[in-house]
Amino acid sequence: MTLDLDTFLVALYTTVDDLYQEHFAPLKPIRPGPRTTLGDSEVLTLIMCAQYFGQSERWLVRYAGEHWRTYFPNLLSQSATNRRARDLAGVFRGLVHLLATRLGAASAPYQVLDGLPVQLMRRCRGTKHRLFADEAAIGKGGSDKDRYYGCKMLLAVSNEGVITGFTLGPASTEERWLAEYFLCWRQDCAATPRGTEDFPPSHRKGGGYVGPTGRIWPRDGAGQIPSRLYITDGGFSGENWVGYWASDYQALILTPESYHGPSYRPPAHGGENAEQMKKQHARWRHVIETVNEHLEHAFHLPYPGARTFWGLYTRVAAKLAAFNISVCLARLFGHPDFGFATLFSC
């Protein structure tokens, strides 16, 4: 049964408010000045709603003023809503991990890692940009491996498709460096990841590694969802990398290359077992392809419309939180986990 928009809005607000009051409100600092007329839970709900519609905060404030005055009688101006949303960027990030725990991700038998592009503007504009510093760059990504200007996100999901953590870096950053930072921060948020000087000479000319090309963030985005087994694609392979991740972070990284070579031990006799495991590996990875597809089309991850770093942080974290809370609401109302298109009707 498809929900009407009002029922969905009430369910979204009550879920957000319960989590906020329990986990975030007691930690909020007391600040001088008049008390705000719009509560934090209301701001969080409004910004999440904007991710479903793929619209800006300006459009959202106007739409809420015309249709949702009953629920939000004390709406702020567009600029004030922007400021409040950016102030709550860390709460959006925290909601991703809290919802993952509520959805049972902590007991998942494995998690899947993958990188996906976050385009910020057209490539022709990106070469002359003045909006972002070293957190964005020109790189290649996506199914067509085309060049774009923006960031690259490393996303971790459970076997059921619940988002458990993320990190971002410039689009030109190699995925294995994103994984290095992700696994390091997941084990200890205050730790320092490895650098290029910590690796033995590579096969490249000169024997060096090309390290991170800019800022990798956020440090607390990796989350604390425990897992030792990660399913990845071939972009994370490499004997040195996989060995360091296993020894330093107790993380077992399985790539398609893990099923051949002298270290592979087939489960039974027969030459076809390695190929069977590769096919099973592809089936395990399929869930993150589905998650990426929904983030792109249902939550409008490409071209989020951000013009500052904190605007980008807020919108990306809000989209990931909206994804997880949608899975939570889908289960609550008996919908399929990824039935976002039929969850509510406008």
Convert the pLDDT of each residue in 240-290 to its tens digit: 889 999 999 999 999 988 876 554 554 444 445 777 888 888 899 999 999
The pTM score is: 0.92
Contact at 8 Å (CB) between 164 and 100? Answer: yes
pLDDT digits (tens, 9 = 90+) for 128-158: 667 788 889 988 877 667 889 999 999 999 9
Nearest-angstrom CA–CA distance, 298 and 311: 20
Query: How many other C-beta atoms can be found within 10 angstroms of the C-beta atom of residue 73?
Result: 10
Instruction: Note if the bond before 218 is cis, omega within 30 degrees.
Output: yes
Average pLDDT over residues 233-240: 88
- pLDDT confidence of residue 275: 78
Contact at 8 Å (CB) between 115 and 152? Answer: yes
Task: Name the average pLDDT for the chain.
Answer: 87
Percent of the chain with pLDDT over 90: 58
**Residues 195-231: b if buried by 16+ CB within 10 A, e if exposed:** eeeebeeeeeeeeebeebbbbbbbeebbbbbebeebb
Contact at 8 Å (CB) between 140 and 150? Answer: no
In DSSP terms, 116 is beta-bridged to: 153
Sequence-distant (6+) residues with CB within 8 A of 266 are 273, 274, 277
- pLDDT confidence of residue 270: 46
- pLDDT confidence of residue 249: 93
pLDDT digits (tens, 9 = 90+) for 153-199: 999 999 999 999 999 999 999 999 999 999 999 999 999 898 877 66
Q: Phi then psi for 229, rounded to 5 degrees?
A: -110, 125
Nearest-angstrom CA–CA distance, 155 and 221: 10
